[in-house]
Homo-oligomer: A and B are copies of this chain.
């Protein structure tokens, strides 16, 4: 931290960390002093000083992508707790956090979502967050509303996925329409743009879902995010998933951008 540039990175990183976590973040960093002080410094300088304050995504968007990536990869309960607390601190509502976790189900299955909800419960208790969970109440045909939502979000590529299943498992295609889109995507309590940031966070963290990432980076552009949002989200995820999964996602993004419009 001797040079002025390094000192700046540390100072602004610590400010960013405090901004989302109060004294909890600095306490995590201090807890590393006796065993891996440079690891703590890298969190401050790189994850927060370099990346977190970049323009292009606001703090709620960053926290939702982080929560999705941590929940999808699993075995990150302490960090997930920290970042759900931080999401609340920067203005993400408890309802949006729960929506983001429900949104994970089609992408990562029920177990990851259930474990993350258990962490959210602790966070809400610790931070005194109170809310009444909304309940979906929609008598319309799940298939019809799902098909509309699928086209709205994924466009032609979404329909192609469903049609490609007709020869081998039409029911699986139907479940995507009814459950992933009719039930989950259709829920009004998280905006389509935030849903796509959650999706990109989850799929990047899974790492082996390139075909789905392709569809959903296209979907991000469809719902009004622009290319810089996508790239910024991927850069943001480096701290939580490492470079390899982000680099592989960038390769997918490049292809999508080349074909989009």
CB neighbours of A175 from chain B (8 A): 46, 50-51, 235, 238, 243
CB neighbours of A2 from chain B (8 A): 137, 139
Number of copies: 3
Proximity string of chain A (216-241) to chain B, C-beta cutoff 8 Å, 1 when within and 0 when not: 00000000000000010011001111
A208→B211 contact, CB < 8 A: no
CB neighbours of A47 from chain B (8 A): 110
CB neighbours of A113 from chain B (8 A): 39
B36→A101 contact, CB < 8 A: yes
Q: Whose C-beta in chain B lies nearest to the C-beta of A1?
A: B137
Docked pose: A137 CA to B3 CA in angstroms: 10
Asked if A30 is at the interface (CB within 8 A of a chain B CB), the reply is no
Q: Given A234-B169, A242-B108, do A35 and B120 touch, yes or no (CB 8 Å)? A: yes
B248→A172 contact, CB < 8 A: no
A28, A35, A175 interface centre (most CB from chain B within 10 Å): A35
* Majority SS at the chain A contact face: helix
CB neighbours of A106 from chain B (8 A): 242-243
Asked if A43 is at the interface (CB within 8 A of a chain B CB), the reply is yes
What are 17 contact pairs spanning A and B, CB under 8 A? Answer: A38-B133, A46-B183, A51-B175, A74-B74, A78-B115, A111-B240, A168-B254, A168-B257, A172-B246, A172-B250, A175-B243, A176-B243, A207-B209, A208-B245, A209-B244, A209-B245, A212-B247
- Residues of A whose CB lies within 8 Å of any CB of B are 2-3, 6, 28, 32, 34-39, 41-43, 46-47, 50-51, 54, 70, 73-76, 78-79, 98, 101-102, 104-115, 117, 120-121, 124, 133-137, 139, 161, 165, 167-169, 171-172, 175-176, 178-180, 183-184, 187, 203, 206-209, 211-212, 231, 234-235, 238-248, 250-251, 253-254, 257
